[in-house]
Amino acid sequence: MRHLFVHGAWVPSASREAVAVVNPATEEIIDQVPAGSPDDVEAAVAAARAAFPSWSAASPAERGKILGAAAQLLKERAERIATTIATDMGAPYGLALKVQTLMPAGVLAWYADNCEVADTRVGNSLVVRDPVGVVGAITPWNYPLHQVICKVAPALAAGCTVVLKPSEVAPLAAYELADVLAEAGLPPGVFNMVSGYGSVVGEAIAAHPDVDMVSFTGSTRAGRKVAALAAESVKRVALELGGKSANVILPDADLQTAVKVGVANAFINSGQTCSAWTRMLVHWDQYDDAVDLAVQATRKYTVGDPFDEGTRLGPLVSAAQRERVIRYVNRGQEEGARLVIGGVDAPLDRGYFVEPTVFAGVAPGMTIEQEEIFGPVLAIIPFGTEDEAVEIANGTPYGLAGAVWAGDEDHAAQVARRLRTGQVAINGGAFNPAAPFGGYKQSGVGRELGQQGLEEYLEVKSLQF
């Protein structure tokens, strides 16, 4: 069994319990990590607290040099790390390499170059920024390196120290990162990692009085629990939660391109993406054509082994996740939506696979239109007017991402400004990892990535002269 990473060393857990890591494509146990305990969290927080004075006093150039070295090591080890991610969470290898490994390496490199935040003058005041302190980071399994980097990189760049709890479902990429940070020269105690269950390790981190901030990515339900625990000690909280993002295709858009890209976005990472465009909104006059195009596009999404070059959809991460998706597919049919491709039949004899699934005839308010499914399930919803499209797009508890397609880019941007969501792609605009990422409403609090992501980990102080 693996160990925990505390004060720059691999140490055994105070708990004797283990968590099995399962390959979701084969259902075989491939590793074990400790089911950490509150005592483990206590040791990790103490190490982070002790390391904070010296790390926070290090110059931005010193911090950037270490983070830059770590980014380079991630790039050098990208193929190995991608293989690990494809094995323990099921992403197709190409996706695991490009999106799950090289993109977070690029994010880490960006923060290495952007550690410094300038002081500002306001009248007789000098406004300065200090690192917030010890950060507890709690991350999910769907992007097991990227989501870690989104928290750890800006926290370290800001001068904070970190206690990380990676997801127990797919923890192995975080173990690779711990080795990388140590080899890059990060001082002992600046980064610590305690594996285990959210109900034990995650809650102990969120409630710990010596943790100054907790940053959590996961479900809205779990985010509420983290925020409630953190409130007891009035610590700062950043939450990146669920989504039910709308892909609004206006009547003058390039329908074929909008549907093709929309299907790809809905199904990336087997639909296990919080910002996926899982609702496709199309005008009534083009609705039937859009459904046909979506079915044609979906047929190209081959389900299979993550290491098979022809695979476009790997397995879902676990048996529990597969059962969740199946329940939603059944619920969609029960509520009157029309299943036009896919369904609940297992496409392979073993592994937690589901078919890519598309529903037509979806009405606002249906369960599959309102709730996050976290699987390759797309709902196509008709609208009559632009105002109705905006109302439907804004009509869920979430507001994480979305898209608008139109013949005129300025018009698309006008509609995008009306969407109550944290980021909107205009006519297929590419994801930008240097831009802020986060949501409105129940999609979360705060922002990750870019300059705004760095500022989450800084306190503001005014010096009056």
For 98, 410, 433, the CA distances from 153, given in Å and listed in that order, are 19, 35, 13
Give the Cα separation of 183 and 380 in Å (integer): 48
* Residues 386 and 415 sit within 8 Å (Cβ to Cβ): yes
For 93-99, which contacts have Cβ atoms below 8 Å and span 24 or more sequence positions? 93/306, 93/307, 94/309, 95/268, 95/269, 96/306, 99/143, 99/146, 99/268, 99/269
**How many angstroms separate the CA atoms of 265 and 273, rounded?**
9
Name residues whose C-beta falls within 8 Å of residue 187's C-beta, 6 or more positions apart in sequence: 8, 51, 54, 55
Q: Taking each helix axis from N to C terminus, what angle separates 78-88 and 172-183, rounded to the nearest 10 degrees?
A: 160
What size, in residues, is the chain?
A: 465
Q: Where are the beta strands (DSSP E) in 406-453?
A: 425-426, 444-445
42 among known catalytic residues: no
H helical segments located in 286-440: 287-298, 319-334, 367-370, 386-393, 409-418
Query: Looking at 274, 355, 369, 456, which residue is catalytic?
Result: 274
Give the DSSP letter string of 183-218: HTTPPTTSEEE--S-IIIIIHHHHH-TT--EEEEES
Going from the C-alpha of 318 to that of each of 138, 197, 219, 220, 436, the distances in angstroms are 19, 15, 16, 19, 30
User: Is 115 one of the annotated active-site residues of the chain?
Assistant: no
**What residue ranges in 7-145 does DSSP mark as E strands?**
9-11, 18-23, 28-34, 120-122, 125-131, 134-138
- State the catalytic residue, choosing from 168, 176, 240, 456: 240
Active site residues: 240, 274
